[in-house]
Amino acid sequence: MKREVKKRNTPRCRRCGRYGAVIRKYGLYYCRHCFREVAEQIGFKKYR
């Protein structure tokens, strides 16, 4: 039986729910994986 680990005061990605590598700047709360997928849709420009 697997126990659920509760992480307190740790931000989660609003898209997929991951805890690690969450971008909080400007109130985004996306993990780096999701941010790369939705960056252009939310107004960020890709230069490279």
Residue 44 lies in a domain: yes
> What CATH number corresponds to the domain at position 30?
4.10.830.10
15 part of a folded domain: yes
In this structure, how many other beta carbons lie within 10 angstroms of the beta carbon of residue 27? 7
Q: Is the pLDDT of residue 2 over 90?
A: no
Q: Is residue 5 part of a domain?
A: no
Task: Establish if 4 belongs to a structural domain.
Answer: no
The total of structural domains in the chain comes to: 1
Task: Indicate whether 1 belongs to any domain.
Answer: no
Structure tokens at 9: 């005061």
* Containing structural domain, residue 48: 11-48
Q: Is 2 among the domain residues?
A: no
DSSP per-residue codes, the chain: -PPPPP-TT----TTT---SSEE-GGG--EEHHHHHHHTTTTT-----
Question: Is 3 a member of any domain?
Answer: no
Quote the pLDDT of residue 8. Answer: 74
Query: For residue 39, what pLDDT is reported?
Result: 95
Q: Beta strand 22-23 with 30-31: parallel, antiparallel or unpaired?
A: antiparallel
Task: Judge whether 16 and 29 are in contact, CB under 8 Å.
Answer: no
- The answer to whether residue 11 scores a pLDDT higher than 90 is yes
The model's pLDDT over 13-46, given as tens digits with 9 standing for 90+, comes to 999 999 999 999 999 999 999 999 999 999 999 8
Q: Over 90: is that where the pLDDT of 3 sits? A: no
